[in-house]
Amino acid sequence: MWHGKSGLFLPFMIQFDKTILKNGLSVIVHTDRSTPFVAVNVCYNVGSKHENPNQTGFAHLFEHLTFAGSVHVPDFDTAVQRAGGANNAFTSNDLTNYYITLPANNIETALWLESDRMIGPKFSKKGLDIQKKVVIEEFRQRNLNKPYGDVWHILRDLAYKVHPYRWPTIGLVPEHIASATLDDVKDFFFHHYAPNNAVLVISGNIESAQAFKLAEKWFNDIPYREIAPYPQQTEPPQEVDREITVYRDVPIDTFYVAWHMGGRTEKNFYVLDLLSDILSNGSSSRFEVKLVKEQKLFTEADAYLSGESEPGLFVATGKASHGIDIHVAREKMLEEIMITAETAISDYELEKVKNRVEADLLLNEIGYLEKAIQLASFEIMGDAAEINRQGQHYLEITASDLLETAGWLFRKGNRNTLNYLSLQNTKK
């Protein structure tokens, strides 16, 4: 890991062992004797990008369905709580992740539950109808009836014309979930949720030999399944800048500007992660100092990466201060971005932002659950060992890399702008 001013790369490594069961399930074990607990984390290589464009939101729907009970387990929460544990899950564009944390001596409860989840949900029309209603209500509350809730629907649709990143994990429209049949969801499950399309990570107070033995006991007999092919739909290079303006019932004018960038494992991801920190991470960042404190153009100004495994988006956004025209504020932010992109960063500023990244990486690697989730995610992307190479990737970045990558990113024709304005503007 990159170590401050000394410029040394510390040999801080997350040790793990890996095997593959006869049904194709990858099993990774990380031993951490500092905790009495273990995390059982199952990550499936299925996210919203694997959905049919006419049946979006299915990966997220399954996150709900599988918590409603499986073939032999009517209630996951009760079983986990009785074992002294906790469980949760999340769905992204790229994957679906389930995890259970509990005392190490109760690990078989978690393995039993996750293996039964992998065998399959307890499919029924009644159960499906209940979860459809839950998901549709979540869609309405978070995306349709919440201020700024539809931003990512609009921005993704603006930036992507081919790639399935053009819709968020909740789905394109509630009607896709509402019209889902029992046959639809069964087909989706058995062509995506399978041992040969998943990674099991066991992290915590357990030795590898014991963990592998238990993984075989609980998962080895789950049958291999044919996985639906994932159509590689490469987004063509954007050649013309795009812009859209919408009016919503929101209190503050906001804008979002997005540029196409590389994928999670590419060098430019790490370069642009540093660039986003230079622009907006912390009280001494350029946006905070120049645009918020000095010029008082914004109440909030941020730059971040969407973070998908395939080529994603570099996003800059700002909420204009009272009385400031949003278009003027936006142009000032773009000017600051271009100054940063065209001027070599000092050694001091580059060193400072690398120090901050080092601290963030160390923080994320402290907990046994965090390690489990990261190991699973990197394995889904191709190689769990990449978790130990992140620090080196950041360390190797130079000021020249920042200039070259920024010049490529902020090129003419690669920009997508969403002006998200208050309805009050239409009354002026």
Tens-level pLDDT at each residue, the chain (428 residues) = 222 322 333 446 899 999 999 999 999 999 999 999 999 999 999 999 999 999 999 999 998 988 888 889 988 899 999 999 999 999 999 999 999 999 999 999 999 999 999 999 888 999 999 999 999 999 999 999 999 999 999 999 999 999 999 999 999 999 999 999 999 999 999 999 999 999 999 999 999 999 999 999 999 999 999 999 988 789 999 999 999 999 999 999 999 999 999 999 999 999 999 999 999 988 889 999 999 999 999 999 999 999 999 999 999 999 999 899 999 999 999 999 999 999 988 888 888 888 888 877 776 667 899 999 999 999 999 999 999 998 889 989 999 999 999 999 999 999 999 999 998 766 55
Those residues whose C-beta lies under 8 Å from the C-beta of residue 294, and which sit 6 or more positions away, are: none
Look at residue 108 and tell me if it is in a domain. Answer: yes
**Structure tokens, 170:** 């909740």
Based on the fold, state whether residues 211 and 280 are members of the same structural domain: no
Look at residue 224 and tell me if it is in a domain. Answer: no
Which run of H or E residues covers position 247? strand 242-248
Based on the fold, state whether residues 122 and 255 are members of the same structural domain: no
Look at residue 202 and tell me if it is in a domain. Answer: yes
Which run of H or E residues covers position 279? helix 267-280
Q: Alpha-carbon distance 281 to 283, whole Å?
A: 7
The pLDDT value recorded for residue 365 is: 61
CA-to-CA separations, 417 to 10, 321, 344, in angstroms, rounded: 41, 19, 26
Based on the fold, state whether residues 417 and 320 are members of the same structural domain: yes
Based on the fold, state whether residues 305 and 195 are members of the same structural domain: no
Look at residue 5 and tell me if it is in a domain. Answer: no
Contact 21, 28 (CB under 8 A): no
Contact 228, 186 (CB under 8 A): no
Short-list 331, 311, 392, 383, CA closest to 358: 392
DSSP 8-state class, residue 70: B
Which run of H or E residues covers position 184? helix 182-190
Short-list 191, 158, 152, 150, CA closest to 58: 191
DSSP 8-state class, residue 425: G
The pLDDT value recorded for residue 426 is: 61
R_g of the chain computed on alpha carbons: 23
Q: Alpha-carbon distance 360 to 270, whole Å?
A: 14
Which run of H or E residues covers position 108? helix 107-119
Based on the fold, state whether residues 257 and 179 are members of the same structural domain: no
Based on the fold, state whether residues 273 and 418 are members of the same structural domain: yes
Q: Alpha-carbon distance 335 to 312, whole Å?
A: 23
Based on the fold, state whether residues 257 and 214 are members of the same structural domain: no
Q: Return the C-alpha torsion angle 254, 257, 262, 268, nearest 10.
A: -90
Q: Alpha-carbon distance 331 to 339, whole Å?
A: 12
The pLDDT value recorded for residue 8 is: 32
Q: Alpha-carbon distance 153 to 342, whole Å?
A: 32
Which run of H or E residues covers position 407? helix 399-409
The three-class DSSP label of residue 255 is: strand
The pLDDT value recorded for residue 182 is: 94
Look at residue 4 and tell me if it is in a domain. Answer: no
Total number of domains in the chain: 2
Which run of H or E residues covers position 86? strand 86-91
The pLDDT value recorded for residue 328 is: 96
Based on the fold, state whether residues 209 and 69 are members of the same structural domain: yes
Q: Alpha-carbon distance 224 to 401, whole Å?
A: 44
Q: Alpha-carbon distance 95 to 377, whole Å?
A: 8
Based on the fold, state whether residues 336 and 193 are members of the same structural domain: no
Based on the fold, state whether residues 211 and 248 are members of the same structural domain: no
The pLDDT value recorded for residue 391 is: 86
Sign (positive/negative) of CA torsion 255, 308, 116, 80?
negative
Based on the fold, state whether residues 174 and 60 are members of the same structural domain: yes
Q: Alpha-carbon distance 155 to 148, whole Å?
A: 11
Look at residue 3 and tell me if it is in a domain. Answer: no
> What's the CATH code of the domain at 261?
3.30.830.10
**Residue carrying structure tokens 């690398």:** 354
Look at residue 71 and tell me if it is in a domain. Answer: yes
CA-to-CA separations, 407 to 118, 318, 399, in angstroms, rounded: 46, 22, 12
Based on the fold, state whether residues 306 and 423 are members of the same structural domain: yes
Those residues whose C-beta lies under 8 Å from the C-beta of residue 33, and which sit 6 or more positions away, are: 205
Of 169, 185, 219, the residue that ends a domain is 219
Q: Which domain holds residue 55?
A: 13-219
Look at residue 228 and tell me if it is in a domain. Answer: no
Pairing of strands 313-320, 8-9: unpaired
**Residue carrying structure tokens 């010029």:** 295
- DSSP per residue over 10-38, as a string? -------EEEE-TTS-EEEEEE-TT-SEE
DSSP 8-state class, residue 191: T
